[in-house]
A and B are shown apart, each in its own frame.
Chain A
Amino acid sequence: MNRFRAFINGADIRRFRFWVQLGFFFLLVYGGYFMINLGQSLPTFSCGFNQPGRAGVCYLLPLQHQTHIPWDSIISGRGLGILTGLLTFLAWLFVFNKAWCGYACPLGTIQDWMTSLRQKLGIRYATYNLDWFTRLKKIKYILLILLIVIPFLMANSVAGLPKLPDDMGTPFCKICPARMVIPAMTGDFSQWTVDFSTGTAAAMTGLGMLVLGIFFVGGFINKRFFCFFCPMSALHSLFSKVALLKLRKDGSKCTRCGDCYRACDMQIREIADDVESTTLVKDDCMMCFKCVAACPEEGALKASFMNIPIYESTEAGFFKRMTKRGKK
């Protein structure tokens, strides 16, 4: 058992992650061709516009349909639909927590591939300075609120104001890069257009194309560029405290050397500097556990599932990874 533990803790998390991500990428992007259907409430960007390849649908799409609901029908079958959708979403999240972002999300995986490409070319990454970082982070919550409120305002008139135009459709999907990127993976580029049928549609799809451009440039120079603004990540973080998979820290063992902070693609400073908290899944965390692999202190950081440690930082593991990667 101890030898098994040592083997796991000495593992190269990058390689493990690469293969898991690749597996999920195929499952979520092409699974539909094999009749796989994981339902409508996946807590990850398994894009609904990717038909017939999708193996399930990103929860944000049905959520925007469901909140397009008049006041008086909330207490009815449709209201119940919102509830079951949310509960299914939470059930998925409850088990794997934000590892959906770090291991499953196809859009995240594509960004990681762009990062590998940049790295291979020897081009330096960009980072945000801390002030900007704390400001920009809030965008994802604003997007989350908007994607719930706008469909609702399309169906209801609040305080005597006119309803929003119906052609805003599923507003977040219109500007989400996944709508264009994920179907393109199955050869479907039909989303890469600006819809001029109405003014609103043109504005929204035009904005979408702009975001797509920013996604490619930003994702190339910045690690996990889009994830800082992702409303799915915001939705996760509202519930991530109760999930079974956790990232734990023992502050007394931490020397604040910052090795984990350096490894973190999401620039989460607390992972190194916070020595008080015992669980450290910040709202941007994608639970990739690169920090655990980067930590040289015995048991200072660990990934645990139902309080059972599954991957732990060890000195031996640290040096094993360092010598291996430094040899290339």
Chain B
Amino acid sequence: MSAEAQVKQIEMVRRQLSRESAEALNKIEKDFPDNPKSMDYFYDLYRRVHCEGEAPHGDKKVIGTTCVQVPEELIYAVGAVPVRLCNGSHTFDQLGAEFMPAKSCSLVKATLGMLSSEVASWLDQGGDIVNVTTCDQKTKAGRLMEEAGYRVHHLELPPSKESEAARTYWQSNVNGFARSLESVTGHKITRNGLRDAIVRVGRAQQAYRRLHRLRMSPLAPILGKDVFLVTNAYFFDDIDSWTDAVEVLNDEIERRCEEGFGAAQRRAPRILFTGSPPIFPNLKLPTLIEQSGAVIVADETCSANRMLYDVVNVDEWQLYDMVDALADRALKPCTCPIFVSDEDRKRRLLELARTFAVDGVVYQAFSGCQVFEMEQRSISRFLADEGIPSLYVETDYSPDDLGQLSTRIEAFIESLKARRRRK
């Protein structure tokens, strides 16, 4: 391809991407009445970063991450900024199809598509990425990122988390990652630096947990599509501005709770969302659920709850204990389906369903995301045994299945409403 044609193509991709993002954002923002005022920070953020292509971190050294298991505190401690690369755009999904087999996961394809396109504002070509060996597709994608010219640290995750051997193996890998970060950036991780990073991330998590808790209110004070947008912004936003914006939002939501203001109808079925992560602009399923008259009150996904909920506890505030503590936080509570056992995921779902008075569970699996597809049977059976209705939806980033999906979602929500009336 001539240089000129290449420039033309990049321009085309950029335009397509910004159109896709703008459409999704419009739908999320404009199709719903009574959005919280403080959501404007986030709508505006997405408009700037996704639609207009603004680089979120300016000149700062950015390190790309691909999974929630990366202890981002370490990245902050070397003075760099972590940006989660997992991508939700259909445009990039199509571009990435070149690198992966036909039946693979949209998320991995889109991430690869973005990294190979030179359109991404996230990371410079040849930048640093830490890729966790979670599922097969992500593991091999790490290699493909190297081929695309990035410097990749392959952070090895054990396939099971129960044994003490897995724990020590992971701890030593995280320690190795810390050393490699030091050599890549030329900054030493100091005790004070890491302690500040832990407190900084802790503050963000505290804000998230407050938002999470506010959603327990019997009259849902905020819609799930907005919360997904908020947690998703954590992927790329400056962490301190993010935390402040979430606290402002929390204050507004709290006022709503006190005033008895509901973001959805009083009788709207309450949904717990689980499975493959909704990532902007692919908030197709959450938006559809809430357009059909239900409200998402909680989730168990790695773009929201699983990423922000579990907090680190440090016993001795020295480097040796902090790094191991970060490793433990990333591994032990993780409910990712790549692990052998699904016990923790079941327990988490049940606890969320109970504390949030959930009417039904929607389980999203990206077609090609084998691990979520494989866990579907046991999770669905478990939920049925516990008397919680659930809907399993296999989908991807393309808008083609919207019609068929909306029929299924509406039917499910109607059945939840009918079930409520019978009670």
Contacts and interface: CB of A to CB of B under 8 A. Distances in A.
Interface in A238-279: 251-263, 269, 272-273, 275
B305 to A, nearest CB: 10
A3 interface: no
Interface majority SS on A: helix, strand, loop or mixed? helix
Interface string A116-145: 000100101100011000000000000000
A323 interface: yes
Contacts of A33: none
Contacts of B311: 257, 259, 296, 318-319, 322
A5 to B, nearest CB: 17
A253 B313 contact: no
A328 B344 contact: no
A298 to B, nearest CB: 9
Nearest to A252: B351
A326 interface: yes
Interface residues of B, number: 37
Given A261-B332, A269-B164, A296-B313, 14 more contacts: A124-B321, A125-B320, A251-B347, A255-B309, A255-B310, A255-B348, A256-B344, A257-B332, A258-B332, A261-B328, A262-B315, A290-B315, A315-B209, A319-B202
Interface of A: 119, 122, 124-125, 129-130, 251-263, 269, 272-273, 275, 290, 294, 296, 315, 318-319, 322-323, 325-328
B116 to A, nearest CB: 36
B332 A272 contact: yes
Nearest to B196: A326
A253 to B, nearest CB: 7
B251 to A, nearest CB: 16
A272 B329 CA distance: 12
Nearest to B203: A323
Contact of B164 (A125, A129, A326, A327): A129
Contacts of A322: 199, 202, 311, 313-314
28 contacts: A122-B191, A124-B320, A129-B164, A252-B347, A252-B354, A254-B347, A255-B309, A257-B310, A257-B311, A258-B328, A258-B329, A259-B328, A259-B329, A260-B313, A262-B313, A262-B314, A262-B328, A294-B315, A315-B209, A315-B213, A319-B202, A322-B199, A322-B202, A322-B311, A322-B313, A322-B314, A325-B314, A326-B198
B313 A263 contact: yes
A10 B388 CA distance: 35
B19 interface: no
Contact of A326 (B202, B328, B333, B350): B202
A318 B313 CA distance: 9
A255 B202 contact: no
The 6 A-B residue pairs whose C-beta atoms are closest, nearest first, are: A259-B313, A257-B333, A258-B332, A326-B199, A124-B320, A130-B164
Nearest to A122: B318
B206 interface: yes
Contacts of A119: 316, 318
A262 B325 contact: yes
B362 to A, nearest CB: 22
A322 B199 CA distance: 7
Interface string B318-339: 1011001100110011000000
Contacts of B379: none
B100 interface: no
A252 B164 contact: no
Which residue of A254, A257, A275 has the most chain B CB atoms within 10 A of its CB atom? A257
Contacts of B318: 119, 122, 124
